[in-house]
Amino acid sequence: MTNCYFNRFVKKMELVSCDQEVEHKLWPLYKHQTMVSVALYACDDNAFKFVEDHNEEMKQIGTLDVEVPDHAVSVDEEARAITVRFKFGQTAIDVSGCNEATRSAAAATITFAHS
């Protein structure tokens, strides 16, 4: 996964309110894909634009796998899109990914570390 684009949902020190949602729409990279895997990363440095192997500051914290229609079945790129949503809570971030065409969905909860 060298040099994959880092799609930032929030920046370090950016204020988000409890129950605030941030979402991005993503598409499969290749026509043959029937599954989109979204790797979730955390990083303290707001300047990073790419996920690079062997980068100690970039930490993978989870993955979402969402099914998308086969390109041969649906050439409509919008039908192949997934919406990834972060919902910020007081002690956790709920992350979900959904493809409206297939109704395929995945979810994860990221809990905050307590010190």
Digit-coded pLDDT (tens) for 44-58: 888 888 787 667 788
Domains identified in the chain and CATH numbers: 4-12+19-111 (2.60.34.10)
What whole-number distance in Å separates Cα of residue 82 and Cα of residue 14?
A: 25
Q: Say if residue 100's pLDDT is above 80.
A: yes
pTM, two decimal places:
0.81
Top pLDDT among 100 and 54 is at: 100
State the DSSP string of 42-96: EES-TT--EE-TT-TTEEEEEEEEEE---TTT---GGGG-EEEEEEE-SSEEEEE
